[in-house]
Each structure stands twice: as structure tokens, then as C-alpha cells.
Amino acid sequence: MAANAFANRLGIEHPILLAPMAGSGGTPELAAAVSNAGGLGAWGGAYAKPDEIAATIRRIRQLTARPFNINLFAGGYASDRKVDPQPMLEIMKQAHARLGLPPPVLPPVAANPFGEQLAVVLEERPPVFSFTFGVPPSEQIAALKKRGIAVIGTATTVEEARRLAQAGVDAIVAQGAEAGAHRGSFAAPFEDSMIPVATLVRDIYVSVALPVIASGGIMDGRDIAAAMTLGAAAVQLGTAFLPCPESGAPAVYKRALLEAKTDATVITRAYSGRPARGIANTFIAMVAGNEHAILPFRQQNDLTRPMRNAAGLKGVPDFISLWAGQGVARSRAMPAAELVRTLVDESSIVEVARP
């Protein structure tokens, strides 16, 4: 798969982007491996403190001399939405008991750290910066571009893509309904923004004069070739890279991905307070019917973190956020560089075979 104008602009050999997975899945090692293989590696720093972001950027630079992407959440934090925490604390108490943990403690409502985090990005100057859950003020985007940083935003609808274009981004990730993990919707309720990736890529391509990056359920070369025929300048994959040895996902998480036989994913707010796609499990079932008790993002995320961490260490998949896209049944385990090469070969074969 030859590089195109967008890949050349980013300084990468292949238009294959690693999804910037905030949390345990994304690691500097995974980001560097993808970049060294000719794609664009990425790391999600949304939950990290400023000094951790700086240290990670420097670590990635130690591992690769090639371009990479740093991602943050540009919005989505709780506003004035109030929820009685007691019902959720009761559910969490049950989950903690099953894992041998002490009763849960209600975390404070976290302030949006985007401003402080972005200041570090501006200081460290990674080659690429991306964001989701909203649109930063145009002056912040201008500041990034002034420092030579390429800027990529996330859209789940054409309207969101238009807003991103008006704000001055360089490219747009078209996050289809099939995508794993958090929905990036910000201009309308997520229920109204569940557009299949093929439709979304095609519609953004004809509506906005910017490169479009297809994201959602993309797992192999055939998926890549299909996205390119619809106008995508590149593709972004997350679930496909989670089973890689460089991924920081717990072993039980990787096993759940590789053992998935069908698309057993659902959209849930149970783990973080924000809609996200993952493999259905016990905790999601415990919260089902009690959605009114879910705390806002990111208080719910902070409340469930001890449970998720303990479950990962104990190898219990029932209480982990098993984020995955709808192509999860096609997951495969191999080093990240080998996966990039495989994706390139597969997509090239499809291109050659097409009449």
C-alpha cells in the first residue's frame, strides 16, 4: 500500500494510524512500534497528569525517530448534572465484594484538565496532536499549528466534521458506529450519531475539504481497501492492535478479544459515565436497568477504576471495561510491526485483485 499525499504530509510510509487508546491499552512501546513500522503510532494521555504526558512523549522519542500522535479529551466532562451517588455505590459495593475489595469510596468530580495537558503538548511539540469529545477553541488549534504540530479532530457526524474544519484542524477522524471504546459525539446525542463508518466517510469526504481518516471496526486489509475506495486518506485501528505484545492491556482482556467468536459488543455508560462500545460482561449486566444511577463522566470512570484494576490483576474479565469494536471476532495476536506489515500486504492484494 503506497503512501498518499496525506501520509506524505505526516511523514509516514503507510496511511495506517494507531488509535490513541487512553488507559492501559496504549503504551509508548506500542506507539513506537507502529511508527517504526511506517504507520503513525499514538498514545492517549487523557487520564494522565501533565508531567506524565511530558515523560511519555520523551519516552516515545527515545523509542522512535518517526512521527507519532498524542491525543487528549477536549470536552465531555461533567457539567452541572447531579446524580444521587448512593444507588451506584451500592452496585459498586457488590462488585467490590466479589473481588475481595473494601467498600468503594466516592471520588470527587474531576475538573477538566485539558488546558494544563495541552500546555505540555505545546511545550513538547509532538509531530501530531489529536483530540475527541469536542472542539478546542480555534486559538488553541492555531497555537498548535504555529508550533508545527499537525492537528486531527474526531467527528461522528458531518455537522461535527464541519465544526472541526471551521476550527482549523488539518484532518478529521470519521468515527463510525462500529468503533470500540468511547463515542466522540459532541454536537448531538450519541444515539443520533451512530452512523456506519462507510456512510460517514463517504459523507464527510464530499462535505468537507480535508483528509478523512476512517475509524470503526477496521481489522484487516480488506477493510482498509474498502475505506480507501470511499474517499478515506487513511485508516485508524485500535481493537486490532490491543492483542499485540506491546499493548498494555491485561492478559485477560487480550484473551477476551481473541476468544470472541461473534460481535458481542454493546454500547454502555456503566464503566465511565460516557457511551462506549465494549464486550458485554457481568458488570454491564449489573448496571443494566439502573442507568439513572450512573454518575457523570469522569466521576463514574474514577469510581470504577479500583474495580477494573483489581479485575485485571486477578484475571477476572467480568469487571473490566473490555473496549472493542464490532470487528473484534477477527482479532489476531502478533507483534505490532508484523501487524502493520500484514495490513499493508493484505490491502495491496485486495487492490491488485480488484477488477
Q: Which of 143, 168, 237, 155 is nearest to 199 (CA)?
A: 155
The C-alpha atoms of residue 354 and residue 219 are separated, in whole angstroms, by 19
Are 18 and 32 in contact by the 8 Å Cβ rule? The answer is no
Give the pLDDT of residue 355: 42
pLDDT at 30: 98
Confidence of residue 79 (pLDDT cuts 50, 70, 90): low
- Give pLDDT, residue 263: 83
Least confident of 30-34, 86-90, 230-234, 260-264: 260-264
From CA 82, how far away is CA 25, in angstroms rounded?
31
Banded pLDDT at 350 (limits 50, 70, 90): low
Locate 197 and state its grid cell.
463508518
CB-CB neighbours of 167 under 10 Å: 17
Model pLDDT for residues 28-77, shown as the tens digit of each residue: 999 999 999 999 999 999 999 999 999 999 999 999 999 999 999 999 88
Q: What is the pLDDT of residue 82?
A: 83
Q: How many C-alpha atoms does 236 have within 13 Å on its Cβ side?
A: 29
How would residue 349 be classed by pLDDT, with cut points 50, 70 and 90? Answer: confident
- Section 130-157 average pLDDT: 97
- Confidence at residue 181, expressed as pLDDT on a 0 to 100 scale: 97
Distance from C-alpha of 214 to C-alpha of 206, rounded to nearest angstrom:
14
Q: Is the overall model pTM greater than 0.85, yes or no? A: yes
Span 2-36, pLDDT tens digits: 678 999 999 999 999 999 999 878 999 999 999 99
251: burial class by Cβ within 10 Å (0-12, 13-18, 19+)? exposed
| Residue 351 pLDDT | 56
β-sheet bridge partners, residue 68: 41
| Mean pLDDT score, 157-185 | 98
pLDDT at 297 over 70: yes
Is the bond preceding residue 332 a cis peptide, omega within 30 degrees? no
Cβ atoms of 249 and 36 within 8 Å: the answer is no
**What is the rounded CA–CA span in Å between residue 196 and residue 199?**
5
Share of the chain above pLDDT 70, in %: 97
Q: Which three cell numbers stand for residue 47?
A: 487520564
List 40's β-bridge partners, or say none: 17
Average pLDDT over residues 235-248: 98
Give the 3-state DSSP-derived string for the chain, with helices as H, strands as E and coil as C. CCCCHHHHHHCCCCCEEECCCCCCCCCHHHHHHHHHCCCEEEEECCCCCHHHHHHHHHHHHHHCCCCEEEEEECCCCCCCCCCCCHHHHHHHHHHHHHHCCCCCCCCCCCCCCHHHHHHHHHHHCCCEEEEECCCCCHHHHHHHHHCCCEEEEEECCHHHHHHHHHHCCCEEEEECCCCCEECCCCCCCHHHHCCCHHHHHHHHHHHCCCCEEEECCCCCHHHHHHHHHCCCCEEEECHHHCCCCCCCCCHHHHHHHHHCCCCCEEEECCCCCCCEEEECCHHHHHHCCCHHHCCCCCHHHHHHHHHHHHHHHHCCHHHCCCECCCCHHHCCCCCHHHHHHHHHHHHHHHHHHCC
Total count of residues recorded for the chain: 355
| Average pLDDT of the chain to the nearest whole number | 95
The pLDDT score that the predictor gives to residue 2 is: 60
pLDDT at 352: 46
